[in-house]
Structure 1
Amino acid sequence: MDTSNAATRALFARARVTRNDELIFLAKLAVALLISGLGGFLALTGGPLGTSVGVLLLAAMYTHMVELQHQCLHHSAFRRSTPHRPVGFLLGLPLLSAYSHYRVQHLQHHKYLGTPDDSEFFGFEPRAPLTWGALVRGALSPARLGQVAVDAYKSCRGSWTYTKGQIGDRSRRQVVAEYRLFALFLVGTVALSVGGYGLAVLVLWVLPLLLSIPIHFLLELPEHVLCDNDSTDVLVNTRTITGSWLSQWYTNGNNFHVEHHAAMVVPINRLQERHPVAKEWAAHQEDTYVSFYARVVKEANQHRRERHARAADTR
């Protein structure tokens, strides 16, 4: 990393959570809950159109809540550390994103980014060729929900182990406790369905959950894909996107990903202040999400053409 001048030093500077940062996070949380409430109301009381809109709103908010959970992982939402775990757990519950498991693996991602030990919680491999098949598999994420079920089952049995590196005893206990709560939640949804509330479970949780998985994939994809993933320099292995005020809010500042990796404990609402420096020095940057996804489509099409050309040569 080039930290030899004042500009880049400012990019990597730490900052404490202030009362204003905390209030901004609480405001974001309130907005997410209000929109979720509206989505739930429409899903339960609307006709076919209203129900569809309600399900989409819930899916969008469940995804947004995981972006808020991400801020809790870094203990940059509240001035005290205590609220981060309970708030983060509840934010991840609709998408079955276990806070303590996510935190351990995500902090390792920050530590090992650009090395073979890097492993993200939502597991799309940025080093792999960007093919249409890989994109579809990543968007549908067929193995993730199954893995959650396995983790919940092993936690209930007391046999859960961490397979991605080191984990402390306290963190392991927290992960196991949260997966047991997931199991209780799943049993509760089954009980409600059997008890005659199956439609409510379907429109309030199951359908939004399934829709939120590809939405979340699309939000996570720009972070490191098509970057220099064999480098440990955050200025070349991570992307920053300027985005609009809407995308900045919806991703909870995840568009400022170079800025976040440069100083992961800085409250996310303050990363925009560092964006001009990142734009000047980062190797991978986009003005909008649309321009990034256009690059992804171009790359996937290029791989498809190359594959067809190789197949034609072997005939």
Structure 2
Amino acid sequence: MTGATGEPSTLLFTRTRTGAADERIFIAKLATLAVLTGLGVMLALRPSPMALLTGVVLLALMYTHAVELQHQALHHSAFRRAWPHRVVGVPLGLPLFVVYSHYRVRHLQHHRYLGTADDTEFFGFDARKQLTLGLLLRGLFDYSRLLIVLRDVVRSAFGRWHYEFGDISPAMRRRVASEHLILGFVVLSAAGLCAAGRGEYVVRLWLLPLLLAVPMHFLVELPEHILCDTDSADVLRNTRSIRGGRLSTWYTNGNNLHIEHHAAMSVPINRLPSRHEETRRLAVHVERTYADFYRTLWKALREQPKGARR
């Protein structure tokens, strides 16, 4: 493969299989998620307003982080066998209303058709649209997606759910429908707690964190393709990587290294940092930090004509 600068790529597009060490690293990430989520639950249930606020923010951060771990599971790059990915991936998405197999189908299409009109990115701002503050704010507070998922839960319950972006196998359709029903059961259970007078638990542990997690997840996903060359099918032009640090790489589960991920999507996330130097040498859109990216975004917004900022 040749990079955007015309130089050859020797590592970036190389595929590798998930090994035992990669599996252990992912399990450690799951354990860290469990510990921090448990801490968030303990804090959110305390009577102190400061403890409640801290717990809600921590839970929102972990619900967002869980979807980034789910992202690795849907690529089947977390475990050596295929079946654990769904077992782990389904519960990871429940707090943020992300149905694993539905996300998997759409996201793999996104990888296949990135840079074309058939791109089916699952979250956030459509990078092919004109950049406006209004569209960014609508993406930031896209609570309507939750209602769409609940609509699909009802459709699945009545056997009327169908995939809107092409054909999928009957087996996959059944998987997606069954996972919508799992989410529906969780929502009904939460409603049952409210009806039994335990609604405070639902509010503190799910609803309030969910309100924060929606914009948090948008901000994690936004840098991937926005302000890139969206008419190009070249991943070195249509995608962005952010070098970041250990904390941001852990929290986003390597989503900052997005060029590296698109170049070889089956590579375990923990192996992507070793490819970043080649990305810096070959790719067009590479930032040092998230702060650098958001400064670039703000500058681009200010340079838009006044009539296009809405």
Q: Same fold (TM over 0.5)?
A: yes
- Quote the Cα distance in structure 1 between the aligned partners of 2:124 and 2:182: 23
Q: How does 1:146-161 map to 2 (within 5 A)?
A: 146-161=147-162
Instruction: Report the CA distance shift for 1:250/1:53 in structure 2 as closer, same or farther (over 3 A).
Output: same
Partner of 2:65: 64
Q: In structure 2, list runs of 5 or more residues that go unmatched.
A: none
SS in 2 for 1:158: coil
Alpha-carbon RMSD across the aligned residues, in angstroms, is 1.7
- Quote the Cα distance in structure 2 between the aligned partners of 1:207 and 1:310: 30
- Quote the Cα distance in structure 2 between the aligned partners of 1:76 and 1:260: 11
Structure 1 counterpart of 2:266, which letter? V
Report if aligned partners of 2:44, 2:204 keep a CA contact under 8 Å in 1: yes
- Quote the Cα distance in structure 2 between the aligned partners of 1:7 and 1:45: 57
2:2 is the counterpart of 1:2? yes
Partner of 2:232: 231
Runs of 4+ in 1 over 3 A off after TM superposition: 3-7, 308-311
Q: How does 1:133-282 map to 2 (within 5 A)?
A: 133-282=134-283
- Quote the Cα distance in structure 1 between the aligned partners of 2:213 and 2:249: 18
Partner of 1:73: 74
Partner of 2:90: 89
Residue 309 of structure 1 deviates from its aligned partner by 9.7
Residue 165 of structure 1 deviates from its aligned partner by 1.4
- Quote the Cα distance in structure 1 between the aligned partners of 2:131 and 2:45: 39
SS in 1 for 2:198: helix
Relative to its length, the structure with more helix (as a share) is 1
Structure 1 counterpart of 2:306, which letter? R
Residue 46 of structure 1 deviates from its aligned partner by 4.2
> Cα deviation per residue 1:239-289 (whole Å; 9 max; x = unaligned)?
011001110000000010000000000000000010000011110010000
Instruction: Report the CA distance shift for 1:296/1:83 in structure 2 as closer, same or farther (over 3 A).
Output: same
> Cα deviation per residue 1:186-219 (whole Å; 9 max; x = unaligned)?
1100000111111110010011111100000000
Report if aligned partners of 1:3, 1:9 keep a CA contact under 8 Å in 2: no
Partner of 2:105: 104
Q: Percent identity?
A: 53
Report if aligned partners of 1:7, 1:277 keep a CA contact under 8 Å in 2: no
2:296 is the counterpart of 1:288? no
SS in 2 for 1:11: coil
Residue 99 of structure 1 deviates from its aligned partner by 0.2
Q: In structure 1, list runs of 5 or more residues that go unmatched.
A: none
- Quote the Cα distance in structure 1 between the aligned partners of 2:57 and 2:164: 34
Residue 169 of structure 1 deviates from its aligned partner by 1.0
Residue 232 of structure 1 deviates from its aligned partner by 0.4
- Quote the Cα distance in structure 2 between the aligned partners of 1:156 and 1:176: 8
Report if aligned partners of 2:155, 2:161 keep a CA contact under 8 Å in 1: yes
Partner of 1:307: 306
Structure 2 counterpart of 1:122, which letter? F
Structure 2 counterpart of 1:2, which letter? T
Equivalent pairs, count: 309
TM-score by length of 1: 0.95
Report if aligned partners of 2:193, 2:199 keep a CA contact under 8 Å in 1: yes
- Quote the Cα distance in structure 2 between the aligned partners of 1:268 and 1:178: 25
Structure 2 counterpart of 1:149, which letter? L
Report if aligned partners of 2:75, 2:265 keep a CA contact under 8 Å in 1: yes
Report if aligned partners of 1:130, 1:296 keep a CA contact under 8 Å in 2: no
Instruction: Report the CA distance shift for 1:292/1:193 in structure 2 as closer, same or farther (over 3 A).
Output: same
- Quote the Cα distance in structure 2 between the aligned partners of 1:46 and 1:84: 37
2:6 is the counterpart of 1:17? no
Residue 298 of structure 1 deviates from its aligned partner by 1.3
SS in 1 for 2:241: strand
- Quote the Cα distance in structure 2 between the aligned partners of 1:286 and 1:3: 17
2:128 is the counterpart of 1:127? yes
